[in-house]
């Protein structure tokens, strides 16, 4: 593909035809394609395959190997715990692919579309949220792991209750209740009266 450039002066016109610029542009575009394909393989497909294989081994050992070693009258808690692990692995894998798939799909579309073809407007508008969704996956994983843990949920509830109680006590006005002081004084006065009465009765006798 060639470019025809014309430089016009008042009494002279210079014409030049070149294809060097287009060759460089196409080479750069091709290099970017290979770069993003390699980046996608390293950062998306390879971690996804490793996660699928690792979680599959964990579920297989937890469900099949340990399940065969347990007796038929095993407690219901063991079955529920294993089901939680299976559900957790499925949710973590689904979250990874859901969060990272839109960004990688847009990158592929951008680098393999035709040069004259423009990016759709809705993709440009949603590009911020696509990047946000991809980066949010790192913050989502601890919440998923903790959400499936009974100890984490109990500790989080206890933390929220303690925080609410502490904030409620801080908002209440501080005061001193004089009821205990009067009770102690009343008891002491009654004790003194009883002792004086006993002394008087003993002196009469």
Q: What is the pLDDT of residue 200?
A: 56
Q: How many CA atoms lie within 13 A of 145 on its CB side?
A: 6
Is residue 124 situated within a structural domain?
yes
Q: What is the pLDDT of residue 181?
A: 44
Tell whether the torsion through CA atoms of 17, 18, 19 and 21 is positive or negative. negative
**What's the number of domains the chain is made of?**
1
Is residue 182 situated within a structural domain?
no
Is residue 46 situated within a structural domain?
yes
Asked whether 87 and 62 are in contact (CB, 8 A), the reply is no
Select from 33, 25, 27, 2 the least CA-distant residue to 15. 2
Is residue 190 situated within a structural domain?
no
**Segments forming the whole domain that contains residue 134:** 3-163
Tell whether the torsion through CA atoms of 46, 49, 52 and 56 is positive or negative. negative
Q: What is the pLDDT of residue 81?
A: 77
Q: What is the pLDDT of residue 118?
A: 79
Q: What is the pLDDT of residue 187?
A: 47
**Which segments in the chain show pLDDT lower than 70?**
1-24, 65-76, 168-205
Select from 137, 53, 142, 55 the least CA-distant residue to 101. 137
Strands (E), 145-201: none
Is residue 52 situated within a structural domain?
yes
User: What CATH number is associated with residue 30?
Assistant: 1.20.1070.10
* Structure tokens belonging to residue 69: 């070693």
Select from 94, 98, 96, 88 the least CA-distant residue to 59. 88
Asked whether 29 and 22 are in contact (CB, 8 A), the reply is no
CA distance readout (Å), 26 to 18, 29, 201 = 14, 5, 121
Is residue 173 situated within a structural domain?
no
Select from 84, 104, 85 the least CA-distant residue to 42. 104
Is residue 201 situated within a structural domain?
no
Measure the CA–CA gap between 180 and 79, rounded to whole angstroms.
56
Q: What is the pTM of this model?
A: 0.60
Q: Which residues have C-beta within 8 Å of that of residue 113, sequence separation ≥ 6?
A: 119
Is residue 94 situated within a structural domain?
yes
Asked whether 162 and 138 are in contact (CB, 8 A), the reply is no
């Amino acid at each position: 593909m060639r470019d025809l450039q014309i430089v016009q002066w008042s009494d002279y016109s210079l014409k030049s035809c070149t294809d060097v610029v287009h060759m460089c542009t196409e080479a750069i575009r091709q290099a970017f394609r290979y770069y993003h394909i390699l980046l996608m393989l390293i950062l998306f497909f390879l971690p996804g395959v490793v996660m699928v294989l690792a979680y599959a081994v964990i579920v297989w050992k937890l469900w099949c190997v340990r399940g065969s070693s347990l007796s038929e009258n095993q407690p219901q808690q063991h079955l529920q715990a294993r089901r939680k692990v299976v559900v957790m692995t499925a949710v973590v894998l689904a979250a990874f692919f859901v969060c990272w798939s839109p960004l990688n799909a847009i990158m592929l579309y951008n680098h393999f579309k035709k040069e004259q073809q423009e990016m759709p407007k809705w993709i440009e508008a949603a590009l911020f949220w696509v990047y946000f969704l991809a980066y949010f996956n790192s913050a989502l994983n601890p919440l998923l792991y903790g959400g499936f843990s009974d100890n984490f949920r109990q500790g989080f509830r206890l933390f929220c209750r303690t925080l609410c109680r502490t904030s409620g006590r801080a908002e209440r006005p501080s005061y001193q209740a004089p009821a205990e002081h009067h009770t102690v004084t009343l008891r002491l006065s009654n004790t003194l009266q009883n002792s004086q009465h006993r002394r008087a009765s003993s002196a009469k006798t």
